[in-house]
Amino acid sequence: MKTLSRLGLAAAIGTLAFAAPASAQIAPIQTAETEAGHRLGSETAPVELVEFFSYTCPHCGEFARSEGALHVGYIGTQAVRAEYVPVIRNPVDLVMTMLVDCGDPQKFLSNHNRVMFRQNEWLPVAANATDAQKALWNQAGRSVDARREIARALDIYPMFTENGYERIELDRCLADQAAAERIFSGSRQTAASYGVQSTPSFALNGQLLEGTHSWPALETILRAAISEDTAEEILPGGLLPNREYEDRPNQPE
């Protein structure tokens, strides 16, 4: 896994601009917790997408800032259901995931977007953590104090209080050791079951997509899957090479 010292800086936040097809009927996006993350959209939607992401992955942040059309044109029209599965690469990922998951599942998407859209505020701080900070943060898997210190050092609390949380509620979520262990084990097991080796990565109707790490590439595949009502004929096929989790650039190498 990449260490905190190797985290790159996030790109500048862009402005989302997208529109659904004129004939589309947009439904409110419903969110439900799953064993590994959160599902957005109707569970009866014909196309199933799984997105594997890391909050400390700059390219995942870039994807999040460009995928607005997925929410409106595909999930909102009930053509696609999407499961968001965090990949825990380091202690900061764990803390961010615990905070994003805190409370009402219907807040997941707004929490998720806040963290991703504002990577440029907190990711450089994580990347420049001192050795003493890293030593403490590396205890986050079993230490409530370490998890809270990460949130404090990266100035994450205000991001969530702006979304209606109380500080005491956030601290209570970070104190949930069972949740920390469930998130970590669920992340590992689900990523391993799909053969995920990098973030962001995507699986369509149960099969991992090779070489697909950007919204334009993913949208091309989604359109074909919806029009043909099958993924088998349009999947690039094969699993990613066996390597440690890493950031993948938005354009395939």
pLDDT tens readout for residues 122-179: 999 999 999 999 999 999 999 999 999 999 999 999 999 999 999 999 999 999 999 9
- pLDDT, greater one: 2 or 229: 229
pLDDT band at 253 (very low <50, low <70, confident <90, very high): very low
Alpha-carbon dihedral angle through residues 104, 67, 85, 76, given to the nearest 10 degrees: 50
What is the pLDDT at residue 213? 92
In a 13 Å sphere around the CA of 70, the CA atoms on its Cβ side amount to 27
What is the pLDDT at residue 228? 63
Position 166 in a domain: yes
Cβ neighbour number for residue 97 with a 10 Å cutoff = 26
pLDDT band at 97 (very low <50, low <70, confident <90, very high): very high
- What predicted TM-score, i.e. pTM, was given to this entire model? 0.80
CATH number at residue 43: 3.40.30.10
What is the pLDDT at residue 98? 98
Position 220 in a domain: yes
Position 76 in a domain: yes
Spell 201-218 as b/e; 16+ CB within 10 A means b: bbbbeebbbbebbbbebb
Residue 245 in contact with residue 198, Cβ under 8 Å? yes
Position 183 in a domain: yes
Answer whether residue 43 shows pLDDT above 70.
Answer: yes
- φ and ψ at residue 141, rounded to 5 degrees: -65, -25
Answer whether residue 52 shows pLDDT above 90.
Answer: yes
Residue 57 in contact with residue 15, Cβ under 8 Å? no
Please list, in sequence order, all residues whose beta carbon lies within 8 angstroms of the beta carbon of residue 160, skipping any fewer than 6 positions away: 99, 102, 111, 114, 170
Name the residue with tokens 């607005």.
Answer: 68
Q: How many domains, in total, are found in the chain?
A: 1
Kindly report the average pLDDT of the chain as a whole number.
82
pLDDT band at 248 (very low <50, low <70, confident <90, very high): low
In a 13 Å sphere around the CA of 226, the CA atoms on its Cβ side amount to 17
Q: What is the gyration radius of the CA atoms in the chain, in angstroms?
A: 18
Position 25 in a domain: no
* pLDDT tens track for 56-87: 999 999 999 998 889 888 998 889 999 999 99
Answer whether residue 247 shows pLDDT above 70.
Answer: no
Position 202 in a domain: yes
The Cα–Cα gap between 15 and 240 comes to: 31
CA distances from 8 to 21, 43, 49, 124, 246 (A): 36, 36, 27, 8, 11
Position 133 in a domain: yes
Cis peptide before 216 (omega within 30 of 0): no
133 token code pair: 């900070």
What is the pLDDT at residue 209? 96
Position 179 in a domain: yes
pLDDT band at 226 (very low <50, low <70, confident <90, very high): confident
Answer whether residue 240 shows pLDDT above 80.
Answer: no
pLDDT band at 27 (very low <50, low <70, confident <90, very high): low
Q: Which domain holds residue 190?
A: 32-228
What is the helix (H) or strand (E) element at residue 11, kind and residue range? Answer: none
